[in-house]
Amino acid sequence: MRIDRLGLVRYGHFTDASVTFARPNAGKPDLHVVYGPNEAGKSTLFSAWLDLLFGIPARTAYNFLHDNRALRVEGDISSASGALSLVRIKGNTNTLLDRMTDAPLPEATLGAALGGLDRDAYTTMFSLDDETLETGGESILASKGSLGELLFAASGGLTELSEALRALHDDGAAWFKPAGRKYQLAALKTRLNELTAQRKAVDLQVSAWRKLTQVHTQAEGAYHDAAQRRETTQTKLDQLRRDLDALPMLQRLRKLQARLAELPQPQALPAEWRHALPDWMRQEAELAALLPEITQAQTDTAHALAQLQDDPAALAILPRLEGLEGQFGAISRQQADLPKRRDELADIQAQMARLTGRLARADLTPAAATLAPHISQRLSDLIESQAVLRNAQQAAQAELDKAQLALQGARDGAALDENALARLAPLVEELRRADLLRLSSEAVANAQTAAAAQAQAFAALAPWQGDAAQLAALDLPCPDSLRAQEAALAQAQRDAREALAECTRLQGVVARLRAEIGAASAVTAQDASAQRAARDAAWAAHLATLDRNTAATFEDAMRADDAITAARLEQARVAERLVVLQQEQAALALAEQQQAAADQQVARMQAGVRALWAALEGQDAERSLADLIDWLARRDTALAAAAKSEAAHAAQSAMATRLSGAADSLHAALKALGRALDTQDYATLLAEGEAVLAAAERLRHTARLRREFEGRQSAVEAAQAAVADWQAEWDRLCAASWIGTPAPTPAEMRALLAVVADLAALAPQAEALARRIARISEDITSFHTDLTQIAAQLDEATSPDVQTLWPRLRARLKQAQDIQATRARLNAEATRTASRLEGLFARQARLRAAIAPLQAHFGTDSLAEIDQTLAAITRAAEVSEEITGLRHDLAAHLRVTDPAPEIARLEALDPDVAHAEAETLAATLAAQDEALRKTYAELAEAERVLDSTGHDGAAARLEAERQTVLLQITDEAAQFMARQAGVIAVEQALRLYRDTHRSAMMGRAADAFAMLTAGRYTGLSTQPDGRNEILIAQQAGGATKPVDTLSKGTRFQLYLALRAAGYLELAESRPCVPFIADDIMETFDDTRAEAAFRMLAQMAQHGQVIYLTHHAHLCEIAQKACADVQLHDLRAL
């Protein structure tokens, strides 16, 4: 995708402007540089491109010249799908239009060309200014966004794998988090405790349940009775209130019926009569008023025309007199101004005579005392330049004396090779800025400090011993996994304790049940039958004799039978206990199995902890997982200290190498100047180089002083020659004029020229006044002659005074004009009056024809009487219709079809009695409402108590749910442990894979960064920082720096390199879109700016690149870096 033309039709301060981006030749870079000074519209162009692609925001800063509704940006775009000619306007919908037809287009038209990019993504990856360059670069370094994932992802597609691992971490933390409070396992345990408590609460005896059921039945019956009573009372009250509400309607019905009896019967009349009658009455009244008025106006106009008398002689002179109208004002002003002008002329002539006398030349007249303009101007110039020449001569002599004094104190010496000095000077300056001695001492100190920190960190790992490689090679689980194991061990120990407690409880229950069963005596059915037969025989014997002995025998038999019956009942209860005993024994066996499993789990986990400690210390150790987690933290600290120590020693070695290379460079540069030293000490060689440069500077200073002295000598000679030339010119000009010789001094000449200038200024004034006085006199004489001729033609008396004759003639002419205008006005008015009178007569005839049928029907000619009759007929129809509607409303209110019977009943109703009955029913209803609420509350309480007893098998359901929750916890715990183990393994493999397979974008970014920094930085690398990675810049000398410690300019160059690498990476997998940068080289020097343009040219081989700037020198640098760049100047828009 590329932009061929961007049209700023109405946007910002642009109106009907456009920029065309021509296509490059085949194989050439598509690079464009747009130049414009400050406020030329560079940022406006940048914003217009984004608004064309993604829409003009609701709040825009570019509506200060054109209204929001007028904003319009056009663009011609080429893409893989074809050419597009688009328009973007401001609005909420349909803002993308076709440029040829202005027809709305869907936003998907651009979406395909952009490859699905939105405004934020495009701004982040393909458009840059100072702010987005820095913030976008920080986002890349933090591995946020598409470019950040490309930078830190391995080439095998690890972006998706990293996302999957993060999702697995989040899933694990959602199920169990040792330091958290809200996670799924905690919720499951809470639900398990709730189910246990609910199961114990629902156990209830049968007798208690029957009592609760009886209470509920009674409360339900009481509630239904109260509701029935209230419904009956409510029905009676509603009927009575409807009757009372219908009484006003009945009264209005009777009034309307009485009113209808007073009105005439409704008639079927033409509808247009009622509508047209008001207009006919209005027309009749208008005609009655207008006809007499217009007739009288016609008579008055005719009489006025007969009274007028015309003046044809005055009208004949009218064109000539009107021609003199414009001259009279000017003649009057000139006549009044003439004496004043004569006085001014006399005053000027007197002034000229006085000025001529000041020249002290009796032979001069005012006309002869003037000088030619060129002589006067040249003399004035010489007066002004005389002081300048004198000052210049004195200043040149003073500068010559000063230069001679400075040269006397200078020292000469042997010349040095300028080419060798040119190589030595930048070398010494660069080394002075680099401050290598300080950096070397700091590198040594950093290496010593890092070594001490490493020793201290490794000592904290005792009793383990080994080096950094052995420590890094230890295959140990991560701290998160150990924390999960620690939590799982604690949970297993709690489960074991709970299982032991449950076994102890169940063992007691089983023992109690067995004791109760063992204490019961065995009674068979035969024993019971024999005892019952003995009892019956004793009773028969007692009935036969009825003595005390048989009674005692019967009593014994009865007691034995009761004992047998009690024993049989106890045996039934023992059978129930046997069932319960079997259930409890099964529960005890399950609890014992759970206890054994929990003990085994605890033992296995404790053995795993001992094995981990044995791998570290070489022997089994009874130490906790918390100690191991702490040891792993110390291990991470030790590894970081080892890495830092290694980097510090590498930096120290690199600095030593750099010092040696700098010493070699200094030795070679001094040798070329013949100042070689027999030492390789860097400090000594640097001091000698600085001394050589100081000596060279002193020699150059002496040469400058000698050149300056020679220049001062030439300046003195030139000043003396200029003074001599001035004097010769002065004498020549005086001799060529009436001034003569000897020539006056410049001061005398200044006074003389002032008098001559005054005379020269007064002479034209005097001549102009004389000519004006003569012209005024001629104009007054000519105008008076014309007026005298006109007066003779009109038989008017003449006058020598123009001010008297002109008004008299003008009044005669105005009177004739007024008579003529009045006659024309009256004629027109007479015509209009006759036409209007004719129209009124025709209108009267049409009105009489229209109202004739109406007058015949009602038998009267008066339209007012007809109007009253029609109004009464209309009112009768309205009242009849209102009566019908009121009867319908009354029937609907009383809920009947025929209201006649109800009307008869309502007429017999006493309102006072009805109101009293309604109040009684309302009070009864309130009492019944209170009783209903009370019975409902009792019923609700009975239902709540009955529902809480769990008489419907709730205990069994709760126990089943409890067992389900236990199984869920078991299954999900196994899944959690397996998932965590898999995540740990994949993370370790991913870390190893990333170390050996860095992304291609990293290589591109390193190459681009090396190009932008002119080789000062040679590459980029990463190192771990917790769960993230940070970017490291590698210097040419071998040193490294984290990117957040680089200077602002270098960071900007790194951010640009990252953007360029991201652009090239994306160009391989998707269509290119235009890349636009807005003055991002503010902090670049010329060398790095040229390198940046070379890099932009490389990007332009893949897609269109546009650079906006207000620095003119960057255009030259761009042409130097890329000969095929296209330049655009915003000043031409």
Torsion-angle region of 895 (φ positive above 0: left; ψ -120 to 50: alpha; else: beta) = left
Here the tokens at position 323 are 């021609």
Q: Determine contact, residues 698/413, Cβ cutoff 8 Å.
A: yes
999: helix, strand or coil: coil
The HSE-up count of residue 834 (CA atoms within 13 Å, CB side) is: 7
Distance (Å) of CA 902 to CA 252, 783, 881: 16, 111, 21
519: helix, strand or coil: helix
105: DSSP letter: -
| Whole-angstrom distance, CA of residue 267 vs CA of residue 274 | 12
899 preceded by cis ω (within 30°)?
Answer: no
| Whole-angstrom distance, CA of residue 943 vs CA of residue 219 | 9
Q: Please state, for a pLDDT cut of 70, what percent of the chain lies above it.
A: 83
Q: What is the mean pLDDT of residues 376-398?
A: 82
561: DSSP letter: H
Give the residue among 1, 54, 12, 67 at the shortest CA–CA distance from 36: 12
Amino acid type, 111: G
Per DSSP, helices labelled H in 153-205 are 158-175, 184-201
Arithmetic mean of pLDDT over the chain: 78
Per residue in 1085-1106, is it b (16+ CB within 10 Å) or e — as a string?
eeebbbbbbebbbbbbebbbbb
Q: What pLDDT digit, counting tens, does each position of 208-217 carry?
A: 656 777 777 8
Q: Which helix (H) or strand (E) holds 1007?
A: helix 1000-1012
- What pLDDT, on a 0 to 100 scale, did the predictor assign at position 156? 38
Contacts of 368 (CB under 8 A, 6+ apart): 738
- What pLDDT, on a 0 to 100 scale, did the predictor assign at position 1027? 55
Residues in the chain: 1133
Q: What is the mean pLDDT of residues 823-835?
A: 86
| Whole-angstrom distance, CA of residue 1099 vs CA of residue 1060 | 7
Q: Which helix (H) or strand (E) holds 2?
A: strand 2-11
The residue assigned the tokens 């940006």 is: 73
Give the residue among 340, 368, 353 at the shortest CA–CA distance from 769: 340
Q: What pLDDT digit, counting tens, does each position of 227-248 carry?
A: 888 888 888 888 888 888 888 8
- When mean pLDDT is compared across 461-470, 910-919, 925-934, the lowest value belongs to 461-470
Here the tokens at position 884 are 């019908």
Instruction: Please say if the pLDDT value at position 914 is more than 90.
Output: no
Greater confidence, 4 or 942?
Answer: 4
Contacts of 740 (CB under 8 A, 6+ apart): 734
Here the tokens at position 1118 are 């761009």
- What pLDDT, on a 0 to 100 scale, did the predictor assign at position 150? 46
Here the tokens at position 1034 are 């590698």
Give the residue among 274, 279, 278 at the shortest CA–CA distance from 843: 279
- What pLDDT, on a 0 to 100 scale, did the predictor assign at position 1100? 93
DSSP string, 734-778: HHTSTT-SSPPPHHHHHHHHHHHHHHHHHHHHHHHHHHHHHHHHH
Torsion-angle region of 524 (φ positive above 0: left; ψ -120 to 50: alpha; else: beta) = beta
1025: helix, strand or coil: strand
| Whole-angstrom distance, CA of residue 376 vs CA of residue 368 | 14
Greater confidence, 439 or 3?
Answer: 3
Q: What pLDDT digit, counting tens, does each position of 1046-1073 carry?
A: 887 787 888 888 888 888 877 777 778 8
| Whole-angstrom distance, CA of residue 1059 vs CA of residue 586 | 71
| Whole-angstrom distance, CA of residue 359 vs CA of residue 369 | 8
Q: What pLDDT digit, counting tens, does each position of 668-699 carry?
A: 877 777 777 787 787 787 787 778 777 777 77
7: how many CB neighbours lie within 10 A of its CB?
Answer: 23
Q: Determine contact, residues 1069/1076, Cβ cutoff 8 Å.
A: no
- What pLDDT, on a 0 to 100 scale, did the predictor assign at position 519? 57
pLDDT band at 997 (very low <50, low <70, confident <90, very high): very low
The residue assigned the tokens 């894979």 is: 993
Greater confidence, 267 or 1027?
Answer: 267
- What pLDDT, on a 0 to 100 scale, did the predictor assign at position 90? 92
Q: Determine contact, residues 453/644, Cβ cutoff 8 Å.
A: yes
Greater confidence, 87 or 747?
Answer: 87
Instruction: Please say if the pLDDT value at position 952 is more than 70.
Output: no
Q: Determine contact, residues 1062/152, Cβ cutoff 8 Å.
A: no
Per DSSP, helices labelled H in 997-1047 are 1000-1012
Give the residue among 987, 1020, 1015, 1017 at the shortest CA–CA distance from 1003: 1020
Give the residue among 10, 1039, 1089 at the shortest CA–CA distance from 442: 1039
Domain edges within the chain: 216-262+870-948, 271-361+747-861, 373-416+683-735, 499-627
Torsion-angle region of 39 (φ positive above 0: left; ψ -120 to 50: alpha; else: beta) = left
Give the residue among 233, 235, 222 at the shortest CA–CA distance from 933: 222
The residue assigned the tokens 């700037």 is: 1109
User: Which of 560-574, 801-815, 835-849 has the largest mean confidence?
Assistant: 835-849
| Whole-angstrom distance, CA of residue 115 vs CA of residue 666 | 56
- What pLDDT, on a 0 to 100 scale, did the predictor assign at position 848? 81
Q: How far is CA 1063 from the centre of its chain?
A: 26
Instruction: Please say if the pLDDT value at position 206 is more than 50.
Output: no
First to last CA, the chain: 25
Distance (Å) of CA 903 to CA 260, 531, 894: 19, 90, 10
Q: What is the mean pLDDT of residues 955-966?
A: 72
